Amino acid sequence: MSRQLFAIFGDPISHSKSPLMHNLAFKGLGYAGCYNRYRLVEGEKLKETFFGLKLKGINITVPHKEHAYNACDVLDSFAQKVGAVNTIVEKEGKLYGYNTDAPGFLKAISEFREVKTVLFLGAGGTAQSTSVILRDEGYEVTVLNRSEGRLKRFKQEGFETATFETFGPGTYDLVINMTSAGLEDENLPAPKEILEKVIPTAKACIDVIYGKETPFLKLAKSYKKPVKDGSDMLLYQGIIAFEHFTGHRYTFDEIKVYMQKAFIL
C-alpha cells in the first residue's frame, strides 16, 4: 500500500496535537500513513484543498465544522443529525463525513457514575453535538449561554435553555464548560454568582479546554470537586477518527496504546 496522507484543517492550527497523536499511532501500528496540519482560511475551499493535497482523510477544527458538513457526499446518521463534521474520509472519490467529538466526549465522561443531570455552560458547535449524544444516552441536559442567539437551535430541539439573565439555578450532577472562555484568557464561562450556586451541589466539574487549568476548573477545585479537563475528549475523538481513517483495522485499545503517548511527551 502506498503511503496515505492525512491532515487537520483549521484556523488557527499551530497549537493542534492531532498530528502528533495520529503519527504516533501510524508509526506504532505500522500503518503507512502520514498526518500534517493545514491552515485553511476559507472554509468554502475545503473540498478543492482536500483533493489538491491528495489526502485520504482529514480532521476539521474551528471554524470549519459546518463547511466540512457541507462538503461531504455521504454523512453518517449522527453527523447528519447534529449538522457538524470533524472527520472526513475519501472513498472512491467521495467524501464521507463523521462526527467523533461527541462519542469522544461521551466516553471521556463515562467514569462519572450515577449522573443524570448535566448543565452545559455554552451553546456553540461542541455543545451542539455533545448535547444530542448525551440526551440519546438518557442524560438531562440544560444549556446556559451568555447570549440568546445560539440557544435557538437548542430550544427548537427541546432542551431546557437559559441566558445569564433568565437562569434560575437548579441542582446538576455535572457542570461542564463548553465555551472557549479560559482558552486564551482568564475568563469564567458564566458570572461567578451563578457558578457559586451550581458548583457546590455538583458531583464533578468538567472543562472541554485542555492543556491548562482554566479559571473554571480552579474555582471548582476550590470547592473540592473532582475535575477533568478536555484531554481525554481530544484523545478519544482522535482514536475514533483513526478507526475511520484506517477502515476499522485496529481496535480502540490498540490505537490508544500509541496515541496516548502524545499526552506524556
Nearest approach, Cβ of residue 164 and ligand NDP (Å): 9
**Residue that has been written with the C-alpha cell 499511532 in this structure:** 25
List the alpha helices (DSSP H) in 38-100: 46-52, 65-71, 77-82
Contact 150, 123 (CB under 8 A): yes
| Pairing status of strand 87-91 against strand 94-98 | antiparallel
61 known ligand binder? yes
Among 13, 75, 141, 181, binds ligand NDP (CB under 6 A): 181
Should residue 89 be labelled a site residue for ligand NDP when binding is judged by CB under 6 A? Answer: no
* For ligand NDP, the closer CB: 4 or 239: 239
Nearest approach, Cβ of residue 179 and ligand NDP (Å): 3
Task: Fill in the DSSP letter of residue 183.
Answer: T
Count helices and strands (H / E) in the chain: 11, 12
208 known ligand binder? yes
Should residue 187 be labelled a site residue for ligand NDP when binding is judged by CB under 6 A? Answer: yes
In angstroms, the CA 179 to CA 230 distance is 12
Query: Per-residue string for binding with ligand NDP, 129-168, x by CB under 6 A?
Result: ----------------xxx-xx------------------
In angstroms, the CA 206 to CA 215 distance is 12
Binding footprint of ligand NDP on the chain (CB under 6 A): 62, 101, 122-127, 145-147, 149-150, 178-181, 183, 187, 189, 208-210, 230, 233-234, 237
